[in-house]
Structure 1
């Protein structure tokens, strides 16, 4: 594997990136000079629009550097949010001067100077030095290098071998030398930490709204197709029984009335049971006794054998308990419907202010958000409370899904 490393695409891309660094740094230096000049001229107010334009140019320069780092250095850097300004020149000027993404790009241009020098020097020393030493037997053919030519072929062979070793190690050396450059790109060219959290919460809010609408539609459908239909049947049965009772002096009419009343009674009990199930889906009564009792009851009702373990020295907030319960309900339903598992396990514990819920099964695997197993809505519910969900479900199983939630809101 070490011998084939130099021809790998990653090595070629990283070498090209290291060779482009001087030009990229040069553009950054020119921009830094413009920023400094604009700051010096702000005392006369002439530099204010110049500084705003410089910050906007820094945003563009940061976009170019981010794309190059993503394409050639293999850095996964998400795009920051777009530039937003209100109507009017003053609003645009103020938004440009306060643009966090632009100023972070300015800081990136400043801090990358020593980092780029190290990366370029490493690439030149490893690749250039390796090629130079590898060609040691040819030094005598060039007048500029003739005086450096080794005295005999054994020494020349050793020097060439050293050059070959440098070339073999060069891809790894350049990769390590570019590590600070990659770190700067990830830290300063992506969205600010606060922006990332805001964007994630906005996405979670949108998903939660969609999930809430879907739940309301499901409740409406259940009420319309189930409970409402049974109540209509109940009313019709009672009306028919009333008609029969008006002629109760006839034994056969009285018997029919009794049958109708018995049917209405059964329908009423079934309707009450359906309403209880629906209410339990909105807020499970078992949660009144705590999350551990509710999950133990849920596990005991599982159609497949399931093991339950809990370590809850502290009771979570009611909203957290409800989310954890519904997550467990959805995950257990996925295990039964989609996984083909024979056994499942549910673990819940509290550690360092976090509630960790873990559901395992020995099914076929392949679970992922967006595959139609309800995990998308589950992720939305979890993210609305600043939680996270991790899915490990390779093809063939087993599946382990971990949900982490804050203990208190």
Structure 2
């Protein structure tokens, strides 16, 4: 396993977390929210939503109505296809706007690809595309929500900042309007103006409260927009799952090819080379048998030792492919055998009500084997533990050592390859390895009964 721990592990100087190296803010988040870039970006998103929603709603309703009305003739079909194509264009605009202002990372849906060339094939593919119809649904559903969110967001934002800054501009009323200040109430008999210091201060405090609350109100409104964009404008779950399965299949094929190359290399460089040398030694011993029986006997004895070594290499190779103890006695005995070969003391605890499927059992075995090999080579640990248990329909295993830490699965190391193998069967690998240790690697696999 290529992963290294501690010294020599690249230029790793601490946990790689988002925002590392930034100075902590002195103001709490509730006070700095009104002036943060994220809050202004979300507010700009609400401001742009209404005019864009009006255009999208008008286009989709008009084109759909026109196409539906023309279905009695052939012209309705291409009009509907053009309507769906336009809605997909609006969807691309909305995804770009969400990425820029809401920081929403969303993948583009699969493109419309016709099996045959020609306008009729494109029209048929467009009309059969569920993604295109979801885009049209978005243009209809988003319009009333844009009206509501625009009204609420603009009202809260303008009222909050206007009242907060009231002490700065209330003088406009007595100087240019002939009134004492902002009129709070008025009828035929009397009027109430916000004109004395106490009322001005209270007005500013009310504005401060509204201003502090507005970013969170806007954030709640844009959360609905995020759900709409993600649910209606992103790729479908089926398409996403197909892409994942294709990627996982590629990982499985690459892993199988790499294992075959490793087995071929081990056979060629190990047991095969030793057997070739053994055959040559036995041939020489056969030639010397009549002339020098004592030398021939010595050569046969050496060949016997080579046979034992070759057999041990073949046993090790077979154990690396699939250990017999795993097939015969299960994970508990197999992991105990792996732990006994580790260079540090390892405590193994397996708590499983039954045995999982052989494929899952094999992946769990080789995962623990690679992790313990990593502990032996790089962790500089004095002890380690292996725990395996089941939670509902998931098989969990955890390897913990008290070594120097500093492992990172995102740096293209052996841990990254191990994570790819687990991902191929819908598994998860989580690495927690701060500098100085301890290192805790947790793997999660689907439970499939044998």
Q: If the length of structure 2 is used for normalisation, what is the TM-score?
A: 0.83
**Measured at CA, do residues 110 and 217 of structure 1 come closer, stay the same or move farther in structure 2, by a change above 3 Å?**
same
Q: What is the aligned residue count?
A: 404
Equivalent residue in structure 1 for 2:146, among 116, 120, 140: 116
User: 2 CA distance for matches of 1:39 and 1:336?
Assistant: 70
Which one of the candidate residues 206, 219, 222 is aligned to 1:162? 206
CA distance in 1, matches of 2:52, 2:200: 38
Question: How far apart, in 2, do the equivalents of 1:56 and 1:14 lie?
Answer: 28
Alignment of 1:40 with 2:84, yes or no, is no
Measured on the aligned residues, the alpha-carbon RMSD in Å equals 2.2
Aligned-partner Cα distance in 2 for 1:271–1:279: 12
Higher share in helix: 1
Structure 2 CA distance for partners of 1:366 and 1:18, relative to 1, 3 Å: farther
Q: 41, 59, 67: which is aligned to 1:31? A: 59
Partners of 1:201 and 1:383 within 8 A in 2: no
| One of 317, 341, 345 as aligned partner of 2:357 | 317
Out of 74, 89, 93, the position equivalent to 2:123 is 93
Deviation of 1:10 after TM superposition, in Å, equals 0.9
Q: Which residue of the partner structure matches residue 68 of structure 1?
A: 97
Which deviates more, 122-131 or 28-37?
28-37
2:310 is aligned, of 271, 275, 279, to 271
When structure 1 is superposed on structure 2, of 360-369 and 116-125 the one drifting more is 360-369
Q: Which runs of 5+ in 1 are unaligned?
A: 248-252
Judged with a 3 Å threshold, the aligned counterparts in structure 2 of structure 1 residues 9 and 218 are, in CA distance, closer, same or farther, namely: same
The equivalent of 2:234 in structure 1 is 190
Q: Structure 1: how far apart are the matches of 2:149 and 2:405?
A: 43
Are residues 87 and 128 of structure 1, via their aligned partners in 2, closer, same or farther at CA, if it must alter by over 3 Å? same
1:128 to partner: Cα distance? 0.3
Preserved CA contact (<8 Å) 1:391 1:402: yes
Report the CA distance between 1:269 and its aligned residue: 0.8
- d(CA) in 1 for partners of 2:176 and 2:448? 75
Q: Find the counterpart in structure 1 of residue 35 from structure 2.
A: 7
Alignment match, 1:340: 380
- Structure 2 gaps, min length 5: 1-27, 185-192
Residue 250 of structure 1 corresponds to: none
Partner SS state of residue 265, structure 2: helix
The answer for the alignment partner of 1:212 in structure 2 is 256
Cα separation, 1, equivalents of 2:65 and 2:381: 65
